[in-house]
Amino acid sequence: MIERSNSEMLYRELGSTGEQVSAIGLGGWHLSLKHVDEDLATRIVRTAIDRGITFMDNCWDYNDGASEVRMGKALRDGYRDKAFLMTKIDGRSKAEAAKQIDESLKRLQVDHVDLLQYHEVLRFEDPHRIFDEEGAHAAVLEAQKAGKLRYIGFTGHKDPYIHLHMLEVANQQGFKFDTVQMPLNVMDAHYRSFAKLVVPELVKQNIGILGMKSMANGILLRSNTVTPIECLHYALNLPTSVVITGMDSMEYLEQAFEAVRTFQPMTDDQVQALLTKTTEAGARGEFEPFKTSSIFDGTAQHPAWLGEEPQRLQQLMSAAG
């Protein structure tokens, strides 16, 4: 992995895309939390970009679209040209995916995103729904051809075996993803570990690795075993292209730059020391509730976001009746 440094940021290769992106990505969900007003959201995004963060994370469903709207406003005045912009869609049907792509572009006030990802691949049926002939992938490929997006990836936070299944189904369709996003944190190593199961496969295929939930919205810190900087250093030390972290204050933005400034590749002993500290807390997934509950699953609470199942499968059900 090639890394170069400007005054404050590391840059890494994004898999086999040829793109260089900032090692820290700005998480979009946090931009529309209750205590973040529009002015602060704009200041966070623009300060991040001014200081070298290029990777912008967002999603069609974050805060009912408000996160995309805010990021779109912040990316005016020439800031869009300095950013690598990513958003995600929930649609599994072709019609729903196409609709969500266009809605995201409208909110973001852009004619294209650099990366579009299938969001919340949480269920073993998701890959089949996406790659069905009437599925989301047909719409995404059309949108890519039309210049609405450049690269394609997927995200999920539930189970590494579902990620591996998604890669397998894509491979059967002759498709290779540009990126994959997953939880990568000090607790993950101990329970249903994406780092142990998925990361080696992505390295082998040279797919861009996007880490999220390095602190799980602060939940990991409640274990009283690790500091925020240790959490970010651990994720940066994995073969990640980008570690996406939520920033809902200027202080958290500063913390991310501090993590980069103080980051050195960790020795095996240093990694082991960190994992030893978190073994007990991480053993049952207690501090990773996105793996062990449905609280983080937006599409479980809003199944309509996924769109309808293909007509021919619905007809199978009616025939069975």
**Which sequence positions are flagged as catalytic?**
62
> Distance between CA 6 and CA 239 in Å, rounded?
20
Determine phi and psi for 45, rounding to 5 degrees: -60, -50
Q: In what order do the strands lie in the sheet with 10-13?
A: 3-5, 10-13, 20-22
Distance CA 45, CA 172 (A): 39
Tell me the β-bridge partners of 22. Answer: 11
Note the helical H segments in 211-267. 228-237, 250-261
CA angle 198, 270, 260 (to 5 degrees): 75
- 289-298: long-range pairs with CB below 8 Å, 24+: 289/216, 289/219, 290/157, 290/158, 290/183, 290/213, 290/216, 291/157, 291/158, 291/159, 291/183, 291/191, 291/192, 296/157, 297/120, 297/122, 297/158, 298/61, 298/90, 298/120
* Residue 203: partners with Cβ closer than 8 Å, 6 or more residues away: 209, 239
Q: Which amino acid is present at 21?
A: V
Tell me, what DSSP letter sits at residue 207? Answer: P
- Looking from the CA of 289 toward its CB, the CA atoms found within 13 Å total 12
Contact call for residues 121 and 127 (beta carbons, < 8 A) = yes
Query: Tokens 């940021």 sit at which residue?
Result: 9
